[in-house]
Amino acid sequence: MAHYFSLALVYCFSLFIACSFVFFISGAYLLLFKIDQANQLFRHPYLDQRSFKQYPLNIRSMIVLDYFIRLTFPKSTVWIAGNANQLLKHVDPAKIPMDVKWPIIGLWGGCAVGMVAMLSLWILLMAGGGR
């Protein structure tokens, strides 16, 4: 059984590191090169009051999370996905170009999958797989 624990540990750790790289690379590319284009395409209602750079980091992250949810779950009507879809109902996800989609999906998708990998890694370590 210890052999399976060590294999699972290696797999979870590798997945976590890969997700970390995807998160950082996508985030850097998005924030350095594509955030203005994404804001123009999505036209988030919060950006009617202030520019994107005037908001604090947590609000900017939430705006990009709304973009991710609109791209990933366009028909959802419940909870946070429903709110994002209501705010961005004027956006057709099929018309957003791929060069804007991939950094948004990489940023938040890498974060979500990385959190699952990290949780699995901690569970395996607590279960005795790190002996």
Whether 44 shows a pLDDT value over 60: the answer reads: yes
Q: Helices marked H in 30-90 — which ranges?
A: 35-42, 57-72, 79-87
Confidence of residue 2 (pLDDT cuts 50, 70, 90): confident
Answer for the pair 76, 120: CB distance below 8 angstroms, yes or no.
no
Task: Look at residue 131 and tell me whether its pLDDT is greater than 70.
Answer: no
pLDDT digits (tens, 9 = 90+) for 77-106: 999 999 999 999 999 999 999 999 999 999
Cα-based distances in Å from 71 to 11, 50, 82, 87: 29, 23, 12, 13
Annotated domain spans of the chain = 2-129
Cβ(68)–Cβ(108) under 8 Å? yes
Is the pTM value of this prediction over 0.85? yes
Q: CB of 32 within 8 A of CB of 24?
A: no
